[in-house]
Amino acid sequence: MGASNPHRQIWANESLPNVPAREQQALSNYETLHHSCLLCDYLQLERRGGERLVFDNENFAALVPFWAVWPFEIILLARRHAGAFTDL
């Protein structure tokens, strides 16, 4: 849910908040329909264009998504699927 650096606190829930839950459902729906990963397909599209790509190497890509709300908004995508940060 959030973190408070001065106190080193992390809050967590057993269920996903509404927005991440909808995002997860959309990713699942895309995979069912297209038999591929939406974020992987999106990264391929952005790599071809190159205009929003900030950083790209064999492990990660950082880009400003076309739906960005803020001019400094970045999405960081791992170049391989991982179920948890510790898997990266």
Q: Which residues participate in catalysis according to the annotation?
A: 7
Alpha-carbon span 76 to 55, nearest angstrom: 9
- Residue 79 CA to chain centroid, in angstroms? 11
What is the enclosing helix (H) or strand (E) of 21? helix 18-34
Q: Which residue has the tokens 């791992």?
A: 78
